[in-house]
Amino acid sequence: MFVLLLALGAFIATLIGGSFALKFRDRLHLILGFSAGAVAGVALYDLLPEAISLGTAYYPPKTIALFISLGLFGYLVLDRLILLHAHGEAHQENEPRGFFGALTLSVHSFLDGIAIGIGFQASAAVGAIVTAAVLTHDFSDGINTVNLVLRNRGSAGRAARWLFVDAIAPVLGAASTLLFRIPASAISLVLAVFVGTFLYLSASDLIPESYHEHPRFLTTIMTLLGAATLFVVVLLAS
């Protein structure tokens, strides 16, 4: 039940992010820049070392690397081919693009919830750090969900409905992990997959969105600050 309470934090973070998208559009690039660094930071400073530490008893380093690449490229396939999510130019804006974009972000959030549950199956410290990363990512997911729908000829009501779907998705994802438990020998591989997915989300979604039509100096500083913050959090947690 504790995992579900933390997942509710992701629910709230998504709703807050969507509200920010409607009220503070001129400063969102700084928030997204911070989120990009934080999500990449949790992959590099927490999940990757934990996957290596837990996995060395069972697998060679190349196996860990393989599952990281599976997470990264598998998420690329999910993002671009299966759900038809694309970051198109203004002349390509249309309602189906907004629908599939919002759907993809909701699937992202569902997997974020699974990451929380699996993180706590590894250890309380890993679960706490993953939760911190998910909160920052889902905050930006709320922003992007609203922006995608509105930017593609969707109404404010439709944006609000998709925002709720995106917000409830991590709660459902975390709840699903209460129905199964991953063997100790496989946890490191699952964490490695999430390393790849978090790096993909940071590099393909958050960083480009934070740089879009904005000066890059401040957003770069915010990205580095986000990564540094997660490094300090992981250091204190360990």
Which range is least confidently modeled, 55-64, 70-79, 144-153, 200-209?
144-153
CB 159 within 8 A of CB 36: no
Question: What pLDDT was estimated at residue 91?
Answer: 42
Confidence band for 28, pLDDT divided at 50, 70 and 90: low
Q: What is the pLDDT of residue 53?
A: 86
Question: Distance between CA atoms of 65 and 193, rounded to whole angstroms?
Answer: 9
Cβ count near 90 (within 10 Å): 7
| pLDDT for residue 200 | 87
**How many distinct helices (H) and strands (E) make up the chain?**
10, 0
Q: How confident is the model at residue 73, as a pLDDT?
A: 93
In this prediction, residue 67 has a pLDDT band, given cuts at 50, 70 and 90, of: very high
CB-CB contact of 139 with 13 (8 Å): yes
Given a cut of 80, whether residue 61 has pLDDT beyond it is yes
Torsion, CA 198, CA 139, CA 231, CA 41, rounded to 10: 20
Helix (H) or strand (E) run with residue 123 in it: none
Give 63 or 116, the one with higher predicted confidence.
63
Q: What is the mean pLDDT of residues 55-63?
A: 91
Would the pTM count as exceeding 0.85?
A: no
pLDDT of residue 209: 67
- How many residues are recorded in the chain? 238
SS3 label, residue 56: coil
> Average pLDDT for residues 127-155, to the nearest whole number?
72
Q: Provide, rounded to the nearest whole percent, the portion of the chain with pLDDT above 70.
A: 76
Do residues 95 and 148 touch, judged by C-beta distance below 8 A?
A: no
Predicted pLDDT at 181: 82
- Which of the given ranges, 14-23, 27-36, 174-183, has the highest pLDDT on average? 174-183
Question: What pLDDT sits at residue 137?
Answer: 64
First to last CA, the chain: 24
Return phi, psi of residue 181, to 5°.
-130, 130
Contact 129, 190 (CB under 8 A): no
Alpha carbon distance 26, 42 (integer Å): 27
Residue with tokens 């790849």: 196
- Give the number of C-alpha atoms closer than 13 A to the C-alpha of residue 91, restricted to the C-beta side: 0
Residue with tokens 């993180």: 119
Least confident span in 85-89, 95-99, 179-183: 85-89
Residue 95 pLDDT class (50, 70, 90 cuts): low
What's the confidence (pLDDT) of residue 63? 95
